[in-house]
Amino acid sequence: GNPWGYGKQDGPSVWHKNYPVAEGDRQSPIDIDPHQASHDPSLGPIVLNYDKCTSIKIANNGHSVVVEFEDSDDRSVIQGGPLGNPYRLKQFHFHWGGKDCHGSEHTVAGNSYASELHLVHWNAVKYKTFEEAATAPDGLAVLGIFLETGDDHRWLHTITDVLYTVKFKGSVTDFKGFNPKCLLPSSLHYWTYLGSLTTPPLHESVTWIVVKDPIIVSEKQLSKFRTLVFTGEEEDQRTRMENNFRPPQPLKGRKLISRRV
């Protein structure tokens, strides 16, 4: 069966049983209180070099829908901001709700968004493999983008139109030529703090960079994410993939830093 999930029996409230770091000092997500954030004028802008990025495939991993990238060289990296060196783009995925009123992982002054996009990058300067970076305190950098419902998103349909091909856990489809830069809001004002993966194994290896402005997607586009299922095609159970988000975790004295571009 599943080692963990988002249900009553296997969800975030019991993850600590198999992953004790769930109760650690730098867990994610968090509630972002904009008034608590300190401004650090020395913090520069985030720089994304995605022009040479190479998307490979889109997959349903039983927890989310993931787009994987070629990460054997520095063709697509994030740098600047709080990052000491460039981090390589590895994959991006989403978290969403069963209804628009919730679905994001980070919240802002207690408010949830309908969904959250995570672009996962790893520190290939210091670590030889992604796996090694995923367990190191400065190993990963995840760029978080909020999704809010409104008008159709011009480019998101490139993803939502192929979701039916990855309905079941374990399904994979070729997905080439997609540049996630088209999913970013115009301004990259951000908050940053030291945290963790928001799913097991919950490694405390993530420098979080959460962008303040949401992108706008339509309810119709968002509803297509809910046609995915957590379960495999061979299983008789069809459990709709939704509410695959972890609630905010205690800040435990961490500093939240804000950068206005």
Ligand X SMILES: CCN[C@H]1CN(CCOCC)S(=O)(=O)c2sc(S(N)(=O)=O)cc21
Supply the minimum distance, in Å, between the C-beta of residue 41 and ligand X: 28
Q: Which amino acid type is present at position 117?
A: L
In this structure, what token pair is assigned to residue 125? Answer: 């300067």
Instruction: Specify the residue, 54 or 61, whose C-beta has the smaller distance to ligand X.
Output: 61
Scanning 11-19, 113-121, 130-138, 187-195 for contacts with Zn ion by CB under 5 A, the matching segment is: 113-121
User: Are the beta carbons of 179 and 70 closer than 8 angstroms?
Assistant: no
Give the residue carrying structure tokens 């040479």. Answer: 52
Query: Which of 16, 63, 118, 203 is the catalytic position?
Result: 63
Q: What is the number of the residue whose Cβ is closest to ligand X?
A: 118
Q: Is 95 a catalytic residue?
A: no
Scanning 23-31, 42-50, 116-124, 205-213 for contacts with Zn ion by CB under 5 A, the matching segment is: 116-124
Residue 15: exposure state from Cβ atoms within 10 A (0-12, 13-18, ≥19): buried
Q: Which does 134 bind (CB under 5 to 8 A by kind): ligand X, Zn ion, none?
A: ligand X
Write out the E strands in the chain.
31-32, 38-39, 46-49, 55-60, 65-69, 77-80, 87-96, 107-108, 115-122, 140-149, 172-174, 190-195, 206-211, 215-217, 257-259
User: Are the beta carbons of 256 and 36 closer than 8 angstroms?
Assistant: yes
Kindly state whether residue 246 participates in binding Zn ion, applying the rule CB under 5 A. Answer: no
Instruction: Specify the residue, 53 or 120, whose C-beta has the smaller distance to ligand X.
Output: 120
Q: How far apart are CA 260 and CA 200, in angstroms?
A: 32
Instruction: Specify the residue, 118 or 212, whose C-beta has the smaller distance to ligand X.
Output: 118
Alpha helices in 59-211 (DSSP H): 130-133, 157-160
Instruction: Specify the residue, 118 or 153, whose C-beta has the smaller distance to ligand X.
Output: 118
Q: Which does 120 bind (CB under 5 to 8 A by kind): Zn ion, ligand X, none?
A: ligand X
Q: Which does 63 bind (CB under 5 to 8 A by kind): ligand X, Zn ion, none?
A: ligand X
Kindly state whether residue 118 participates in binding Zn ion, applying the rule CB under 5 A. Answer: yes
Scanning 26-34, 38-46, 114-122, 203-211 for contacts with Zn ion by CB under 5 A, the matching segment is: 114-122
User: Are the beta carbons of 121 and 112 closer than 8 angstroms?
Assistant: no
Q: Which does 197 bind (CB under 5 to 8 A by kind): Zn ion, ligand X, none?
A: ligand X
Q: How far apart are CA 88 and CA 91, in angstroms?
A: 9
Instruction: Specify the residue, 10 or 152, whose C-beta has the smaller distance to Zn ion.
Output: 10
In this structure, what token pair is assigned to residue 170? Answer: 């374990």
Scanning 24-32, 49-57, 70-78, 110-118 for contacts with Zn ion by CB under 5 A, the matching segment is: 110-118
Coil, strand or helix at 215: strand
Q: What is the number of the residue whose Cβ is closest to Zn ion?
A: 118
Kindly state whether residue 90 participates in binding Zn ion, applying the rule CB under 5 A. Answer: no
Q: Give me the active site residues, please.
A: 63
User: Which residues here bind Zn ion, judged by CB under 5 A?
Assistant: 118
